[in-house]
Amino acid sequence: MKRWLIALALLALGAGSALTAQVRLPKLVGDNMVLQQNTRLPLWGWASPGERVTVSFGSQQVTARAGKDGKWTVALAPVPAGGPFEMTIKGKNTIALKNILVGEVWLASGQSNMEWFLSSTVNNHVQEIAAADYPQIRLIDVKNAVAFRPQAEMESDGWKICSPATAGNFSAVAYFFARDLHQRYKVPVGLITSEWGGTPAEAWASGEALRAFPEFREQVAEMANDKSDLARQMQEYNVQREAWLKAFGDGDRGYLPGGKTWADADFDAAGWPKMQLPGLWERAGGLPDYDGVAWYRKEIDVPAAAAGKPLTLHLAAIDDADSTFFNGVKVGSTNGYNTLRVYTVPGQQVKAGRNVIAVRVVDTGGGGGIHGDANELYAETGGQRVPLAGEWQYQAGSDTKTMPRRPFATDLQNAPATLYNAMIAPLVPYAIKGAIWYQGESNAGRAYQYRTLFPAVIKDWRSRWGYDFPFLFVQLANFMHDKDQPADYEWAELREAQAMTLALPNTGMAVTIDIGDPEDIHPRNKQDVGLRLAAAARKVAYGEKGVHAGPTYQSMTVEGNKVRVKFANVGSGLVVKDKYGYVRGFAVAGADKKFVWARGHTDGNDLILYSDEVPNPVAVRYAWSNNPDGNVYNREGLPAVPFRTDDWPGLTVANK
């Protein structure tokens, strides 16, 4: 699942390889890599203890000796943008690296909205992939892993050159961000993507940084003191699991004598248990800690008018691989946990009345099953949409009593420091220009904690690299629906915590409350997300003047029964996107702390707000909801940042 690995102890392997007297490089250093321009360039690797290693790059030749642990480190002098170049690393053996570029290197991290592939039904993804011919944009992806202690190496397939053949597997947000920078500055751009869907911020911070948080201190200490060999345990588990999975070739109970299967329309599944879909089977019920094969079945009724006509199945996303059947006939298969499934059933297979959909799912680790959003799970027949979300029958393909148990708790990717140890520590100190970050959904229930936790992550990473590199992040997009009247919302509080993080130097935020989807936590408009991050980069990382963010709350003044609100970052002028000039998304409250919707209009670059229900206003909130309906922008087209003027305790104030 999700390029799934668990914390391979490659530091130990590195020491072992040194015994062979072979110079070895980290996965981060290789053919097609991009080096950061105009800065000192640390490079490292392993060799025999005491071995002399020489790195040659252009006119530079730098030498170092491997330490007792076999590690060697050199630093190249700053190099201007350009390429392609070659590099030679020579010890008792020689490594020649080719097609190296020098330009801008950005680290992209976070959870699933950063991980979301360009091919995963991003808006216009077919056209975007076909046009992705940018050989000077390169990407290296860190495969998912966890570890109890910082690792020296990560797992990766190496640097990939951006082309229509490779771009589909690029992070969509990172790609659109890089494309904008490349087109604007005419230099190569390297992306290091290290992200994992559904993960909280504390997993991305080091144990040292988390010791400042009492709520994490005990767990961090337990992991640091755990001397068990997680890699060895995982290797042993994988051997057992692979042997168990091999039994599915002949032993999957879904394959019946005489060529029949559990997908057949006449198979009697009356005794099968039921599960609510969409939802991973670990959480939806029935199959906790299960990796392997499971079958789903659901019956639908097709009207006579639609019989004999093609039917389209939309099956949301499936983790990891599926084979999908309609009335026992296979209609499609896909491998990829975050790819939406859409299959066409030929008309000759579609009957009037009862029809059976069956899905055989293979999960290789972590969560498994049909997941995603309910509105993505439906059949389309005769011009009508038939919802498929809800109750499905299911059955494991193997007797789960025989499955080997994991040697550790599940969901370690959500534990404090585990992702930093496995997926960030191995990147240090490779020179980067800065970082982009899209995360926060998993911390929304602890938004007040995020006020200090998120800045701690930023400061932690900067301390590891040794400089305050630009850190740009995405404020949560609009998602879910709202109550009729103003209310408190966890997502609003998380957005507030993100905005407060702008108090740190060299930070920028992309506001996305107008380009999300209330029905989908993974909005498909990743283009504007990348462009707004790039706008922030122009200011924060590249020192350009001009507008890089939307209107930001500056002050409020009570004028009788009205409130005047002033903004910074109005650019060439404040705009209300309404043909009558009426504002939306504002609420006002009096001393009773009861908010009601406000009316208002512009007065130059100020807003005048009021409500007949609040004669003495004391507080204002804007876009304070799950799915904001605000319509305030600057003329440059960037939305105003959600805000509140009060500091009254919210829903998550006590949550840790």
What's the confidence (pLDDT) of residue 240? 72
What's the confidence (pLDDT) of residue 245? 60
Contact 551, 598 (CB under 8 A): no
Query: What's the whole-number mean pLDDT along residues 366-378?
Result: 85
What's the confidence (pLDDT) of residue 357? 97
Query: What's the whole-number mean pLDDT along residues 493-501?
Result: 98
DSSP code at position 516: S
Which residues lie closer than 8 Å to 365 by C-beta, 6 or more apart? 1, 4, 291
Query: What's the whole-number mean pLDDT along residues 544-560?
Result: 96
Do the strands 134-141 and 189-195 form a parallel or antiparallel pair, or are they unpaired?
Answer: parallel
Query: What's the whole-number mean pLDDT along residues 69-79?
Result: 97
Task: Using alpha carbons, select from 624, 596, 622 the residue that is nearest to residue 610.
Answer: 596
183: tokens are: 């087109």
What's the confidence (pLDDT) of residue 455? 98
172-185 helix and 527-540 helix, angle to the nearest 10 degrees: 50
What's the confidence (pLDDT) of residue 317? 87
Whole-number Å distance between alpha carbons of 457 and 212: 12
User: Confidence class of residue 14 from pLDDT cuts 50, 70 and 90?
Assistant: very low
Low-confidence winner among 63-67, 69-73, 292-296, 556-560 (lowest mean pLDDT): 292-296
Query: What's the whole-number mean pLDDT along residues 280-301?
Result: 86
Low-confidence winner among 213-217, 317-321, 567-571 (lowest mean pLDDT): 317-321
Whole-number Å distance between alpha carbons of 315 and 121: 13
User: Confidence class of residue 255 from pLDDT cuts 50, 70 and 90?
Assistant: confident
Whole-number Å distance between alpha carbons of 342 and 183: 34
425: tokens are: 């520590």
Which residues lie closer than 8 Å to 510 by C-beta, 6 or more apart? 472, 473, 474, 475, 529, 532, 533, 535, 536
115: tokens are: 């991980």
- Per DSSP, helices labelled H in 85-135 are 112-115, 125-130
pLDDT at position 16 over 80? no
Partners of 317 in the β-ladder: 340, 371
Task: Using alpha carbons, select from 588, 628, 643, 584 the residue that is nearest to residue 610.
Answer: 588
Contact 432, 470 (CB under 8 A): no
pLDDT at position 419 over 50? yes
Tell the residue number behind the tokens 């009724």, with chain if given: 301
Low-confidence winner among 78-92, 193-207, 221-235, 379-393 (lowest mean pLDDT): 221-235
pLDDT at position 526 over 60? yes
What's the confidence (pLDDT) of residue 375? 83
Distances 5 to 8, 26, 125, 246, 339 between C-alpha atoms, Å: 8, 17, 28, 19, 20
What's the confidence (pLDDT) of residue 227? 75
Domain boundaries, the chain: 257-397, 552-644
Contact 431, 105 (CB under 8 A): yes
Q: How many CB atoms lie within 10 A of CB 385?
A: 12
User: Confidence class of residue 1 from pLDDT cuts 50, 70 and 90?
Assistant: very low
Alpha-carbon dihedral sign for residues 487, 489, 494, 498: negative
What's the confidence (pLDDT) of residue 403? 62
Which residues lie closer than 8 Å to 190 by C-beta, 6 or more apart? 33, 34, 35, 36, 101, 103, 104, 105, 106, 137, 138, 139, 140, 159
Query: What's the whole-number mean pLDDT along residues 174-190?
Result: 98
Partners of 345 in the β-ladder: 311
Helix count and strand count (H, E) for the chain:
13, 34
Query: What's the whole-number mean pLDDT along residues 64-83?
Result: 97
pLDDT at position 625 over 90? yes
Query: What's the whole-number mean pLDDT along residues 224-248?
Result: 70
Alpha-carbon dihedral sign for residues 194, 195, 196, 201: positive
What's the confidence (pLDDT) of residue 611? 98
What's the confidence (pLDDT) of residue 631? 97
Task: State pLDDT tens for residues 293-302.
Answer: 899 999 999 9
Distances 213 to 209, 222, 643 between C-alpha atoms, Å: 8, 15, 27
What's the confidence (pLDDT) of residue 382? 81
Rg for the chain, CA atoms, rounded: 27
Task: Write out the E strands in 338-467.
Answer: 340-345, 353-363, 369-371, 377-381, 384-387, 390-396, 434-438
User: What single-letter amino acid sits at 221?
Assistant: A
How far is CA 303 from its chain centroid?
Answer: 41
What's the confidence (pLDDT) of residue 580? 81
What backbone torsions phi and psi does residue 135 show, to the nearest 5 degrees? Answer: -65, -15
Question: What is the CATH code for 257-397?
Answer: 2.60.120.260
What's the confidence (pLDDT) of residue 410? 57
Low-confidence winner among 113-117, 337-341, 377-381, 550-554 (lowest mean pLDDT): 337-341
3-state helix, strand, coil in the chain (%, to 5): 25, 30, 45
Task: Using alpha carbons, select from 373, 341, 342 the residue that is nearest to residue 518.
Answer: 373
> Any long-range contacts for 81-88 (C-beta under 8 Å, 24+ apart)?
81/37, 81/38, 81/187, 81/188, 83/188, 85/57, 85/58, 87/55, 87/56, 87/57, 88/54, 88/55, 88/56, 88/57
User: HSE on the CB side for 416, CA within 13 Å?
Assistant: 23
pLDDT at position 53 over 50? yes
What's the confidence (pLDDT) of residue 239? 76
| Length, in residues, of the chain | 656
The burial of 338, by beta-carbon neighbours within 10 Å (0-12 exposed, 13-18 middle, 19 or more buried), is given as buried
237 or 450, higher pLDDT? 450
pLDDT at position 249 over 90? no
User: Confidence class of residue 521 from pLDDT cuts 50, 70 and 90?
Assistant: confident
Task: Using alpha carbons, select from 495, 483, 409, 414 the residue that is nearest to residue 451.
Answer: 495
Contact 63, 93 (CB under 8 A): no
Tell the residue number behind the tokens 């997680």, with chain if given: 230
pLDDT at position 395 over 60? yes
How far is CA 504 from its chain centroid?
Answer: 23
pLDDT at position 15 over 50? no
Virtual torsion, Cα 378, 380, 383, 384, nearest 10 deg: -30
The percent of residues in the chain predicted with pLDDT above 70, rounded, is 91
Task: State pLDDT tens for residues 399-411.
Answer: 666 666 655 655 7
- Omega into 426 within 30° of 0, i.e. cis? no
For the chain, give the mean pLDDT: 91
What's the confidence (pLDDT) of residue 412? 82
Which residues lie closer than 8 Å to 4 by C-beta, 6 or more apart? 143, 144, 364, 365, 366
Query: What's the whole-number mean pLDDT along residues 126-135?
Result: 97
